[in-house]
């Protein structure tokens, strides 16, 4: 059995198709899916979906692009939502230093508030990081005490050195479709060098579809493609990838 640890099933593109998506996923042995919020509204939608389906869980949080109006009121609402058992993480939250994003100091401030929130809620964190790995790692090192319930680097694209730092902090490395791209040699090298015991699988659907389906809509049923590719990278069999990454996801999210 597989777990898709990061999906966006509330995306409009999946509207009216959730039953089909779940049955296709089941045929591919993907039996649990964590759907992720990225602002207050999508977090509420994620929880609504999780309440409706036994094998859907959710993570809630506000990610960098949407932090402009982050305040205590939003934080309190997230806290309230987190009391539902179907909420298994705070995320995606993090830092993104690409163009047209909120200023870095503001991003760090809101990120820190949300990792504190995760600890208060006794939940792990799902981290989103783009072009900000240096600041992210130093901020996490300084606040290691807030990572009591662990976490994962969603769609990790950092170097082997950064991955080692993340693992030292007790975090998992989440692997998605990018690891199957022909031009993803850095990600492949990093994966080759870190233990399977530190890796979990995700699709980030509808984005980041694995090779050879690029151009189509990604979905949870593609998880075995990511597992198969990881088995090739690690030189092990796919059952090992399936068993160990599922065990890892269970350890982290307790589902
Ligand atoms: Ni995502």
pLDDT in tens, 111-159: 999 999 999 999 999 999 999 999 999 999 999 999 999 999 999 999 9
pLDDT at 15 over 90: yes
Distance CA 127, CA 176 (A): 14
The alpha carbon of 93 and the centre of ligand 1 are apart by a number of angstroms equal to 10
The alpha carbon of 21 and the centre of ligand 1 are apart by a number of angstroms equal to 17
3-state secondary structure (DSSP) of residue 216: strand
Q: How many CB atoms lie within 10 A of CB 221?
A: 22
The alpha carbon of 118 and the centre of ligand 1 are apart by a number of angstroms equal to 18
Residues that place a CB less than 5 A from ion ligand 1: 204
Angle, CA 223 vertex, CA 56 and CA 50 arms, to 5°:
5
Task: Report the pLDDT value the prediction gives residue 204, as an integer from 0 to 100.
Answer: 96
Task: Report the pLDDT value the prediction gives residue 10, as an integer from 0 to 100.
Answer: 97
Convert the pLDDT of each residue in 165-196 to its tens digit: 999 999 999 999 999 998 899 999 999 999 99
Distance CA 110, CA 90 (A): 13
The alpha carbon of 148 and the centre of ligand 1 are apart by a number of angstroms equal to 23
The alpha carbon of 158 and the centre of ligand 1 are apart by a number of angstroms equal to 16
The alpha carbon of 38 and the centre of ligand 1 are apart by a number of angstroms equal to 8
Helix (H) or strand (E) holding 247: helix 238-253
Convert the pLDDT of each residue in 19-39 to its tens digit: 999 999 999 999 999 999 999
pLDDT at 211 over 90: no
DSSP 205: T
Task: Report the pLDDT value the prediction gives residue 249, as an integer from 0 to 100.
Answer: 98
The alpha carbon of 206 and the centre of ligand 1 are apart by a number of angstroms equal to 9
The alpha carbon of 53 and the centre of ligand 1 are apart by a number of angstroms equal to 20
The alpha carbon of 123 and the centre of ligand 1 are apart by a number of angstroms equal to 18
Helix (H) or strand (E) holding 179: none
Task: Report the pLDDT value the prediction gives residue 214, as an integer from 0 to 100.
Answer: 81
The alpha carbon of 105 and the centre of ligand 1 are apart by a number of angstroms equal to 22
Convert the pLDDT of each residue in 68-96 to its tens digit: 999 999 999 999 999 999 999 999 999 99
**Are the C-beta atoms of 202 and 178 separated by less than 8 Å?**
no
The alpha carbon of 9 and the centre of ligand 1 are apart by a number of angstroms equal to 10
The alpha carbon of 56 and the centre of ligand 1 are apart by a number of angstroms equal to 15
Domain that holds residue 13: 2-253
Terminal CA-CA length for the chain: 13
Backbone angles phi, psi at 29, to 5 degrees: 70, 15
The alpha carbon of 205 and the centre of ligand 1 are apart by a number of angstroms equal to 8
Q: Which two tokens stand for residue 223?
A: 């998880």
What average pLDDT does range 43-50 have in this prediction? 98
Q: Which two tokens stand for residue 219?
A: 């979905």
How many structural domains are present in the chain? Answer: 1
pTM: 0.97
**233 cis-preceded (ω within 30 degrees of 0):** no
CATH of the domain at 54: 3.20.20.140
The alpha carbon of 6 and the centre of ligand 1 are apart by a number of angstroms equal to 6
Task: Report the pLDDT value the prediction gives residue 106, as an integer from 0 to 100.
Answer: 97
The alpha carbon of 8 and the centre of ligand 1 are apart by a number of angstroms equal to 6
Distance CA 171, CA 176 (A): 16
Question: What pLDDT band is residue 210 in, cutting at 50, 70 and 90?
Answer: confident
Q: Taking all residues of the chain, what is their mean pLDDT, rounded to a whole number?
A: 96
What average pLDDT does range 248-253 have in this prediction? 98
% pLDDT > 70, the chain: 100
């Amino acid at each position: 059995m597989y777990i898709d640890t990061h999906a966006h099933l509330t995306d409009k593109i999946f509207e009216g198709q959730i039953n089909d998506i779940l049955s296709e996923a089941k045929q591919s042995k993907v039996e649990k899916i964590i759907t992720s919020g990225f602002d207050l509204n999508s977090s509420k939608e994620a929880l609504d979906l999780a309440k409706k389906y036994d094998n859907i869980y959710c993570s809630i949080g506000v990610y960098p692009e949407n932090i402009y109006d982050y305040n205590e009121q939003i934080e309190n609402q997230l806290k309230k939502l987190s009391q539902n058992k179907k909420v298994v993480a705070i995320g995606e939250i993090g830092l993104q230093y690409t163009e047209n994003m909120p200023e870095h100091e503001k991003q760090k401030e809101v990120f820190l508030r949300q990792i504190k929130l995760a600890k208060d809620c006794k939940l792990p964190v799902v981290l989103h990081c783009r072009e900000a790995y240096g600041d992210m790692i130093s901020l996490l090192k300084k606040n290691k005490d807030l990572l009591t319930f662990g976490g994962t680097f969603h769609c990790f694209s950092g170097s082997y050195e950064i991955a080692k730092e993340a693992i030292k902090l007790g975090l998992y490395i989440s692997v998605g479709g990018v690891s199957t791209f022909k031009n993803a040699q850095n990600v492949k090298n990093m994966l080759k060098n870190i233990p399977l015991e530190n890796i979990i699988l995700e699709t980030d659907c509808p984005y980041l579809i694995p090779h050879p389906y690029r151009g189509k809509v990604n979905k949870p049923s593609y998880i075995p493609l990511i597992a198969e590719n990881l088995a090739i990278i690690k030189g092990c069999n796919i059952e090992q990838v399936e068993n160990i990454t599922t065990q890892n996801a269970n350890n982290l999210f307790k589902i």
